Amino acid sequence: MARTVHGQPLTYLDNAATAQRPSSVLFAMHLFSVFTNANIHRGVHELSAEATRLYDGAREQVRGFLNAGSADEIIFTKGCTESLNLVASSYGSLVLRPGDEVVISEMEHHSNIVPWQMACDRAGAKIRAIPVTPAGELDLDAFRGMLSERTKVVSIVHVSNALGTVNPVREISAMARGVGATVVVDGAQAAPHLAIDVQDLGADFYAIAPHKMYGPMGIGALYGRRELLAAMPPYQGGGDMIRSVSLSHTEYAEPPARFEAGTPNVAGAVGLGAAIEYLGQVAEEPMRAIGVHERELLAEATERLEAIPGVTVIGKAREKAAVLSFVMDCAHPHDIGTILDSEGVAVRAGHHCCMPLMTKLGLAATARASFGIYNTSEDVDRLAQAVLKVREVFA
């Protein structure tokens, strides 16, 4: 990235929060806004027809990216958080009753905790959490012991945004199905790094965050199994989610329209489609190549930081994606982030919307470096040099 901060060349290592967008994504959104800006569906003029084709085409691109069975199983939302809220609110109201249980984990992002707490409060159901081991992995033996006929939903993160842990979703899904539970997956951190096949994973719902996979903010996508979506009540009411409306009664449209009330973010959908195209052009086996590149950077960065006195890496799972969280004995994570910023290195510092996990680990916060496809060994070197600067300033 050709810009500087504080007189230093920028090293951007905050990809887990949001990734930078390639020119192809920006150009696709610009072309739509300049030449095809119109609302979709029911328009009889050419611009509306073109916008509708682009919107529907983006839905098909998401279907292919996730290997969903049908484009009708893909719902556009305004982000991963709204996708998870949609499932918790709509599907939760359908299946949760007093005494039922929803199983999450101690490493969940708040957007996969709070919506289920709200749904359980409404239904009189209960939240249970899979413990996290000291290495930063889920305790699957404990999970197995939690499952019962009361378990209605298992909602789990695929890749931890705070630890980088890659959870064994396929195994978790199989265990959940053994008691008839529905499986919801937060794929916000997985989609930029792993090849996703929702059918192979056994996911009933899978949410992604396009802005973390080199796409725009303000758009999200949710996969839901067709028969589940067809049974669910709408999440919001308004235009485009209806079949017919009278003053006394409304008939709802079939999914996915049922869950896409109001004016859609067409430009965002176009940008998401362009981001998927971009990822597909990285290599012959794009997601495999991305994973190899990022794991090499992660291994190099882990080795470099662990060699610095007073640095402790948080999260030692056997399977990790491109997230490196750490603390130092001489500085608070916010001070680490500030010094690194002065050196032109952008990282995230805080609890990463994972306060229960931080409590479990006995930490207030961590500093987090997260890698993307455009990062290099030079970025790792600049990270290590900046961390040494922190030690020089505070120790």
pLDDT bucket at 56, cuts 50 / 70 / 90 = very high
Residues classed as catalytic: 353
Q: Looking at the structure, tell me whether residues 96 and 141 fall in a common domain.
A: yes
pLDDT bucket at 361, cuts 50 / 70 / 90 = very high
Q: Looking at the structure, tell me whether residues 160 and 238 fall in a common domain.
A: yes
Does the pLDDT of residue 333 top 90, yes or no?
yes
Of 280, 314, 336, the residue that ends a domain is 280
Residue with tokens 């990235």: 1
Of 256, 280, 304, the residue that ends a domain is 280
The range of the structural domain enclosing residue 157 comes to 23-280
Give the dihedral sign, CA 64/67/72/77.
negative
Structure tokens belonging to residue 64: 């292919």
Please give the tally of structural domains in the chain: 2
Sequence-separated (6 or more) residues with CB below 8 Å from residue 372 = 12, 15, 19, 20, 192, 214, 294, 322
Render pLDDT for 17-39 as a digit per residue (tens, 0 to 9): 999 999 999 999 999 999 999 99
Measured between alpha carbons, how far is 223 from 215 in angstroms, rounded to an integer? 17
Closest by CA to 241, choosing from 274, 263, 223, 218, is: 263
Q: Looking at the structure, tell me whether residues 266 and 295 fall in a common domain.
A: no
- Dihedral Cα 327, 333, 335, 337, nearest 10 deg: 100
E strand intervals along the chain: 4-5, 8-9, 11-12, 74-77, 101-105, 126-130, 151-157, 182-186, 205-208, 220-224, 242-245, 250-252, 311-314, 323-328, 345-346, 348-350, 366-370
Measured between alpha carbons, how far is 40 from 47 in angstroms, rounded to an integer? 9
Percentage of the chain modeled with pLDDT above 70: 100
Query: What pLDDT does residue 42 have?
Result: 77
In a domain, 35, yes or no: yes
Cβ–Cβ < 8 Å for 339, 383: no
| Cβ burial, residue 324 (10 Å; 0-12/13-18/19+) | buried
Backbone angles phi, psi at 315, to 5 degrees: 105, 105
Structure tokens belonging to residue 381: 């070197």
Of 227, 255, 280, the residue that ends a domain is 280
Render pLDDT for 129-152 as a digit per residue (tens, 0 to 9): 999 999 999 999 999 999 999 999
The CATH number of residue 171's host domain is 3.40.640.10
Provide the 3-class DSSP secondary structure of residue 69: coil
Query: What pLDDT does residue 1 have?
Result: 57
Cβ–Cβ < 8 Å for 66, 196: yes
Provide the 3-class DSSP secondary structure of residue 154: strand
The CATH number of residue 330's host domain is 3.90.1150.10
Summary mean pLDDT of the chain: 97
Measured between alpha carbons, how far is 24 from 57 in angstroms, rounded to an integer? 17
Measured between alpha carbons, how far is 27 from 219 in angstroms, rounded to an integer? 17
Q: What is the mean pLDDT of residues 78-83?
A: 98
Query: What pLDDT does residue 282 have?
Result: 85
In a domain, 1, yes or no: no
pLDDT bucket at 273, cuts 50 / 70 / 90 = very high
Q: Looking at the structure, tell me whether residues 211 and 119 fall in a common domain.
A: yes
Render pLDDT for 280-322 as a digit per residue (tens, 0 to 9): 998 778 999 999 999 999 999 999 999 999 999 999 999 999 9
For residue 389, CA distances in Å to 83, 212, 307, 352, 377 come to 41, 29, 14, 24, 18
Cis upstream peptide for 22 (omega within 30°)? no
Render pLDDT for 185-213 as a digit per residue (tens, 0 to 9): 999 999 999 999 999 999 999 999 999 99
In a domain, 305, yes or no: yes
Give the dihedral sign, CA 293/294/299/303.
positive
Q: Looking at the structure, tell me whether residues 166 and 225 fall in a common domain.
A: yes
Measured between alpha carbons, how far is 222 from 286 in angstroms, rounded to an integer? 22
Measured between alpha carbons, how far is 201 from 217 in angstroms, rounded to an integer? 26
Q: Looking at the structure, tell me whether residues 177 and 40 fall in a common domain.
A: yes
Q: What is the mean pLDDT of residues 176-185?
A: 98
